[in-house]
Amino acid sequence: MSDLPRIELNKSVYDRFMNLSIEENISQLTYIWIDGTGETLRSKTRTHYEIPKSIEDLPIWNYDGSSTYQAEGSNSDVYLYPRAIYKDPFLQGNNKLVMCETYKYNKVPTDTNLRATCVDVMNKAADQHPWFGIEQEYAILDRDLHPFGWPKSGFPGPQGPYYCGVGANKVFGRDVVESHYKACLYSGIKICGTNAEVMPAQWEYQVGPCEGISMGDELWVSRYILHRVAEEFGVVISFDPKPIPGDWNGAGCHTNFSTKAMRDENGIVAIEEAIERFSKNHQRHIKAYDPKEGKDNARRLTGHHETSSINDFSAGVANRGCSIRIPRSVSEEKKGYLEDRRPSSNCDPYKVTEVIVRTVCLGE
Ligand code: ADP
Ligand code: MN
Ligand code: MN
Ligand code: MN
Ligand code: MN
């Protein structure tokens, strides 16, 4: 870190400008989209001379796709279609964050726009009211990409004391976590909890339950907010599913899922039917559960560190070494939801929720 230039500017000077009063009907809209990697987010901001009430009020926009791995320089315009709108926790006031879909010049979705097909699938299954809750794990890194709070040479003590830990020798970066939590609540994201994870500097937050397409929208925007909060503190967020090789836990996006039938009395029958369908589609799901069709998860789903092997499907009550876990409380109440533990921390939630609904709700 010592050889990296200083990047923090003077926040009190910044605040002076942020407190300037501007005309009341102006809104700054920050359009957010997924770039050609399928993993990283981009954003840019425009002025809108009214306060938008819904997504229909917002204009289509465009950007230079040749700079985001999404187009050739000679035909570089990619369109941004606004899809979901949230309060902006950074600029605050009338200002908004806008989650967008990306379309090529010929109005075809870009290769990494996986929302377009997800919406169709969610519409087909709308009568089953699919709910999701995703547990997003991540690591906080210094700007040199070394885990935050770790000794610069060598390693911290072995895993054990860090999960849900308290104390300056056990958890690193709680300011980031709490700021992100509040910012998500402010924005209208259904963040429902957070905890320190097994690897030091690793954390988790949960979003949900969210119905249908809103799961993907809210998780992506929550990731955007996390990157921006970390930027304010001069640290970096990693969603890599195995940021540190060796005896250190990887990072996942456990995806909790239910339909109305599963939540109703004796829904355990529907849960068991769903698990049967999952069991026949293991490889297909593994392909959808990280951006590299299973290659990222191969580093993480080893059968150790509270994971199941990438090669085998398994399910069990309260078993965290399974592909799918039925929570103890669900087994006791005979209704509720199941947990798919396979999706990686850098998964695209549009892809994950789409394949789950195709398999379980549409029987495809
Ligand atoms: P774990 O014990 O696996 O760490 P967490 O408490 O971290 O579980 O996360 C539980 C997740 O389950 C939350 O995201 C929550 O929104 C989600 N959830 C709870 N009930 C349902 C449900 N009926 N359908 C889908 N998801 C649900
Ligand atoms: Mn320009
Ligand atoms: Mn959890
Ligand atoms: Mn966890
Ligand atoms: Mn979990």
Listing DSSP states for 218-237 in one string gives HHHHHHHHHHHHHHHHT-EE
Rounded to an integer, the average pLDDT of 27-48 is 98
User: What's the confidence (pLDDT) of residue 125?
Assistant: 98
User: What's the confidence (pLDDT) of residue 309?
Assistant: 94
What average pLDDT does the structure give for the chain?
A: 96
User: What's the confidence (pLDDT) of residue 2?
Assistant: 57
Give the percent of the chain with pLDDT over 70: 99
Encode pLDDT of 273-285 as tens digits.
Answer: 999 999 999 999 9
> Which residues does a 6 A CB cutoff place in the pocket of ligand 1?
131-135, 192-193, 206, 208-209, 254, 256-258, 263, 336-337, 339
Q: Is the per-residue pLDDT at 350 higher than 70?
A: yes
Rounded to an integer, the average pLDDT of 51-69 is 94
Give the percent of the chain with pLDDT over 90: 94
Phi, psi of 231 (to 5 degrees): -55, -40
Please list, in sequence order, all residues whose beta carbon lies within 8 angstroms of the beta carbon of residue 218, skipping any fewer than 6 positions away: 84, 189, 190, 207, 210
Rounded to an integer, the average pLDDT of 289-294 is 97
Q: Residue 72: which pLDDT band, with cuts at 50, 70 and 90? A: confident
Ligand 1: atom nearest CA of 207 is: 14
Mutate to test the pocket of ligand 1, among 136, 206, 218 (most ligand atoms within 8 A of CB): 206
Instruction: Say which residue, 305 or 294, is predicted with more confidence.
Output: 294
Nearest CA to ligand 1 atom 11: 133
Conformational region of residue 96, where left means phi above 0, alpha means psi within -120 to 50, and beta covers everything else: beta
